[in-house]
Amino acid sequence: MNELDAIEARAQRQLDGMTVNRDAMARDVLKLTRALRRLAQEVRKPAASASTKTSQEDFLRDLFGW
């Protein structure tokens, strides 16, 4: 199971009323918000070359295991 799947499963367990580690949930939220901010910064940068798309794909692959 990759990291994104684990985060999603933990959130679903919480919504289903099961007990989950709240510290882990908080770390998940912080990790995702920081990743989204970094991605938003990358998207706002003007495209300097074709390698920009590759770096964004590498970023997503590293973060989510895609």
- The pLDDT, as a whole number, for residue 51 is 57
Report the predicted TM-score, pTM, of the whole model to 2 decimal places: 0.61
Total domains present in the chain:
1
pLDDT in tens, 19-39: 999 999 999 999 999 999 998
Q: Tell which residue, 62, 18, 32, 34, has the closest CA to residue 10.
A: 18
Q: 64 or 21: which carries more pLDDT confidence?
A: 21
**Above pLDDT 90, what percent of the chain?**
48
DSSP string, 23-56: HHHHHHHHHHHHHHHHHHHHHHS---STHHHHHH
- State which residues form the domain around 41: 3-64
